[in-house]
Amino acid sequence: MDIRELVERIKKISKKEINIMEFCGTHTHEIFRYGIRQLLPENIHLLSGPGCPVCVTSEEDIDYIIELAQNYDLSIITFGDLVNVPGNNGSLNYLRAKGKEVIVVYSPLESINIAKQNPNKKYLLIGIGFETTAPNLAFTLIKAKEENIKNLYFLSLHKLTPPAMKAILDMGEIKIDGIIGPGHVSTIIGRKGWEGLFNEYKIPFVIMGFKPEEILYGIYHLVKIIEEEKPALINAYEKSVKEEGNKSALEYMYKVFKKGSASWRGLGIIEDSGLILNETFEEFDIRKIYPQKTKSIKLKNNYCRCGEVLRGVIKPTDCPLFGKSCTPESPKGPCMVSSEGTCSAYYLYGGE
């Protein structure tokens, strides 16, 4: 079906005033980039969810990283946008400008070479992301262990998506009629990965791809099951998502990690929603070496409403800082920092 036909079909069947939430930040961005909202009838409201790994990183975890970098002789190795997220004592980018070593890599495997080439230095690799990136980090740790690397430590900020979705549904702050399931995450966990959630809540759930026609195709199915009141868990991205997911990736992941509690911005601490290193990889675990002090400090940046944005409770434009003191050039919160963040999508593509 081409785009026009899909849009016509959606218009034809859509009657109810409905809210659908896209979990994934990449969906948020693609929906904006292609102006998909403009194509949909006005009674379909798209809400953005918590599917941006940098955005859901909690304030405490950011402060912990900054503290580790400042107080111990550790060079930080990490990815992309994390370096720009402001904590109470500046961002990693700021630390770098002040002379701390902060290395941004594209692939975690680079950290092994860096550690090998500089045996006198100590490195901290920060793993961040959902089920999509965790297998890669797991692979890196397996290699590091095989090669007996002693000057590389690891901090896992990895999180699992179904528990976050569940938390939002449990909070019940907003009416959600259907969920746009994340395409990339589902390639790893499979359609099956969502079954627990679906069976518990019986909420219409459609896994979809990222091309505009794939998104519209998915939305069509979602609207259909909502209108017909026949909730289902549908895989509308069959070309990439298998029923069982990617077994070998999952195997790697659970060779290295086990489920543990994780702290989410906006959602708080959720049991079994994160990945922590299991006993075999303890020697790499920075949390064991310099444990995180639990402290509840008053945040200087408490005007940022990212937490509510992540839960779909407010739109970025409802945040008083949006577009004023908070812009991608000088972000006040992670939702504006990350290229997957909802605030940045609204800002860059002119969200209403």
Partner 1 sequence: MEDIILLSHGNGGEATRKLIEEEILKYLGNEILEELLDSALIDIKGKIAFTTDSFVVSPIFFKGGDIGKLSIYGTINDLSVMGAKPLYVSVGFILEEGLSLKEFRKILESMRSAVEECGVKVVTGDTKVVEKGKGDKIYINTTGIGIIEDGISWHGRRIEEGDIIIINGEVGEHGLSIMLERLGIKTEEIESDLAPLHNLTLPLLKISNGIKFMRDPTRGGVASVLNEIAQKYNVEIEIDEDKIPVKPWVKNASEILGIDPLYSANEGKIVIVADKKEEKKIMEFLRNHPLGQKAQIIGEIKGKGKRVYLKTKMGTKRILDPLKKDLLPRIC
Which residues contact partner 1 by CB under 8 A?
3, 24-26, 32-36, 38-39, 51-54, 79-82, 84, 104, 106-107, 128-130, 132-133, 184, 212, 327-329, 339-340, 347-350
Nearer of residues 54 and 256 to ligand SF4, judged by Cβ: 54
Nearer of residues 164 and 226 to partner 1, judged by Cβ: 164
Residue 35, binding choice from partner 1, ligand SF4, none, Cβ under 5 to 8 Å by partner class: partner 1
Rounded CA-CA distance 205/203 in Å is 6
Nearest residue to 219 (alpha-carbon basis) of 191, 187, 179, 186: 179
Token code pair at residue 272: 């079994």
Residues near 2 by beta carbon (within 8 Å), at least 6 away in sequence = 213
164 binds ligand SF4 (CB under 6 A): no
User: At closest approach, how far in Å is the CB of 103 from partner 1?
Assistant: 12
User: At closest approach, how far in Å is the CB of 313 from partner 1?
Assistant: 22
Residue 349, binding choice from partner 1, ligand SF4, none, Cβ under 5 to 8 Å by partner class: partner 1
Nearer of residues 4 and 288 to partner 1, judged by Cβ: 4
Residue 36, binding choice from partner 1, ligand SF4, none, Cβ under 5 to 8 Å by partner class: partner 1
Residue 315: beta bridge partners?
Answer: none
Vertex 185: Cα angle to 182 and 190 (nearest 5)? 100
Residues near 199 by beta carbon (within 8 Å), at least 6 away in sequence = none
Cα dihedral: 336, 322, 273, 104 (round 10): 10
46 binds ligand SF4 (CB under 6 A): no
Token code pair at residue 260: 């543990």
The residue type found at 17 is E
Nearer of residues 110 and 227 to partner 1, judged by Cβ: 110
Cα dihedral: 302, 320, 351, 179 (round 10): 50
343 binds ligand SF4 (CB under 6 A): yes
Rounded CA-CA distance 30/39 in Å is 13
Cβ(275)–Cβ(253) below 8 Å:
yes
62 binds ligand SF4 (CB under 6 A): no
Nearer of residues 159 and 311 to ligand SF4, judged by Cβ: 311
What residue is closest to ligand SF4 based on CB? 333
Residue 304, binding choice from ligand SF4, partner 1, none, Cβ under 5 to 8 Å by partner class: ligand SF4
User: At closest approach, how far in Å is the CB of 93 from partner 1?
Assistant: 9
Nearer of residues 65 and 319 to ligand SF4, judged by Cβ: 319
Phi, psi of 201 (to 5 degrees): -105, -15
Pick out residues in 274-333 that bind ligand SF4 (CB under 6 A).
304-306, 309, 316, 319, 321-322, 326, 332-333
Nearer of residues 35 and 320 to partner 1, judged by Cβ: 35
Signed CA dihedral, 278, 282, 285, 286: sign only: positive
Q: H helices of the chain, where?
A: 3-13, 25-33, 36-39, 59-71, 92-97, 110-117, 134-146, 161-171, 183-189, 195-201, 212-227, 247-256, 286-289, 306-310, 334-337, 342-349
Nearer of residues 79 and 225 to partner 1, judged by Cβ: 79
Residue 343, binding choice from ligand SF4, partner 1, none, Cβ under 5 to 8 Å by partner class: ligand SF4
Q: Which residue from 68, 137, 256, 335 is in contact with ligand SF4, where contact means CB under 6 A? A: 335
Q: Which residues bind ligand SF4 (CB under 6 A)?
A: 304-306, 309, 316, 319, 321-322, 326, 332-333, 335-336, 343
